[in-house]
Amino acid sequence: MSERSVAVVTGAASGIGRETVDQLLTEGWNVVAADVNSHNGERLLSEVDAACLPDRVEFVRTDVSDEAQVEAAINRAPERFGRLDSVINNAGVGGAFGPVTELEVEDWDYTFAVVTRGVFLGTKYAARVLKEAGHGGTIVNTGSLAGISGGAGPQAYSAAKAAVINFTRATAVELAQWRIRVNSVSPGFILTPILGSGGRHIERLQEDIQPWPETGRPHHVASVICFLAGPASSFVTGESINVDGGVTAAGPRVGDTVGGDPAARGLVGVARGSTGHESVVHRRIDRPDSAVVQRGT
């Protein structure tokens, strides 16, 4: 039996999950890769084979909304590799979309079954194995920017991801006494197949709402997942880390849109509001030599 750390990754056959498998392998982990898409799972195995690491990954076709399948995938880690250290509940779909008045109940339920039930089941069986083993461990859930705001995804997906983020906090509190840490990552806009045709607009998105001047890619998120899965984050639990190139930090960018931020108009100075003292524009950035005093802004 191996003494390497062992992870189960769901949604492992594409995008963020696929990159997480690679980064875990590079860091020396063994991995059970779980995904509902067998075709992409086979491709993952052949790529891992080509990298000469066939004995360190097992693919298990798993639908994360199915309790028996999740239990089997997680139990596969100790069966095949002798232990379990981390479960990464990452599988996801965009789910139901359209005006709320038109949403079908079965599409709403499908969204929650994959996004939220999948995380619940992954946590349930991870905690069983880890508690029994008694050596602690980690659970990392993939949330979303959509789970912390109203405008970043369809209604069902947003609600389901909000549930994932708070389920993470609740289970972190419950499981801390067994040294099981539970955290989530919330990606912003990451170029993966889940964006569908929306991926075409990612560069415009970057210009309009994302401060960091680089396209979000799976490796940006995978490295944070690996940090939360491993010992470097040993005092972090119940946390949600946004991996969004500063989108959340920027907020609604009202200043840029309605001109309320003088910096956007190239001005430098100090606003003293309704104190009765003067607000001052020291200079314009485009004409640094010009000094203007502006009263009463």
Ligand X SMILES: NC(=O)c1ccc[n+]([C@@H]2O[C@H](COP(=O)([O-])OP(=O)(O)OC[C@H]3O[C@@H](n4cnc5c(N)ncnc54)[C@H](O)[C@@H]3O)[C@@H](O)[C@H]2O)c1
Summarize as ranges the residues that interact with ligand X (CB under 6 A): 10-11, 13-17, 35-37, 40, 62-65, 90-93, 114, 142, 144-145, 187, 189-190, 192-195
| Cα gap 197→199, rounded to integer Å | 5
Please say which residue, 11 or 154, places its beta carbon nearer to ligand X.
Answer: 11
- Tokens 């539970």 found at: 182
Q: What are phi and psi of 283, to 5 degrees?
A: -165, 165
* Total count of residues recorded for the chain: 297
Taking alpha carbons only, the member of 106, 73, 68 closest to residue 89 is: 73
> Closest approach of Cβ 57 to ligand X, in Å?
15
Scan for tokens 């806009």, then name that residue: 189
User: Which one, 13 or 130, has the nearer CB to ligand X?
Assistant: 13
Compare residues 146 and 281 and give the one whose CB is closer to ligand X.
Answer: 146
Catalytic residue ranges: 157
Give the 3-state secondary structure of 266-293.
CEEEECCCCCCCCCEEEEECCCCCCCEC
Distance (Å, whole) CA 160 – CA 110: 11
Q: 126 vs 281, which CB is nearer to ligand X?
A: 126
SS3 8: strand
